[in-house]
């Protein structure tokens, strides 16, 4: 199996929990942020982790997610809502419950898109978020 170019079927997707999607989406999103930082010269090696944290922390994800909400299809909105409404055991320090749920929703969406191999859509949404980041972060 090629884990960089997936094309998971709908029958398999239905068996993956929203938190499972969020777990995968967290890694996808962080990899995209790290790639973006390196490619845009936004951080040196010593500051890369600190710079990445500014984008991957729940409050930042929640703010950036707002930029893409109007662009989501009905199916994407349903995945986002499913992630937002999932029950999480704890909220990390420094994030409100609402921010954490919005971040989980975003991560669920990114995991869902990644598993389907919809990298063009992932890139489109990510670029929109990073354009917004120049204003929000």
Catalytic positions, written as ranges:
26
Half-sphere exposure of 47 (CA within 13 A, CB side): 8
d(C-alpha 50, C-alpha 28), whole Å = 18
Q: How far apart are the first and last CA of the chain?
A: 38
Pick from 65, 76, 70, 78: nearest CA to 130: 65
d(C-alpha 125, C-alpha 72), whole Å = 9
Q: Where are the alpha helices (DSSP H) in the chain?
A: 10-13, 18-39, 45-56, 58-68, 74-84, 97-115, 119-136
């Amino acid at each position: 199996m090629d884990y960089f170019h997936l094309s998971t079927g709908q029958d398999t997707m239905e068996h993956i929990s929203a938190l499972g999607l969020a777990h995968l989406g967290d890694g996808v999103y962080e990899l995209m942020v790290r790639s973006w930082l390196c490619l845009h010269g936004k951080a040196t090696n010593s500051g890369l982790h600190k710079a990445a944290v500014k984008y991957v922390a729940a409050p930042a994800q929640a703010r950036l997610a707002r930029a893409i909400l109007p662009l989501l299809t009905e199916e994407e909105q349903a995945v986002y809502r499913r992630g937002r409404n999932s029950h999480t055991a704890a909220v990390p320090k420094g994030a409100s419950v609402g921010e954490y749920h919005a971040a989980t929703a975003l991560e669920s969406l990114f995991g869902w898109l990644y598993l389907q191999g919809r990298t063009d859509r992932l890139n489109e949404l990510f670029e929109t978020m990073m354009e917004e980041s120049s204003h929000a972060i």
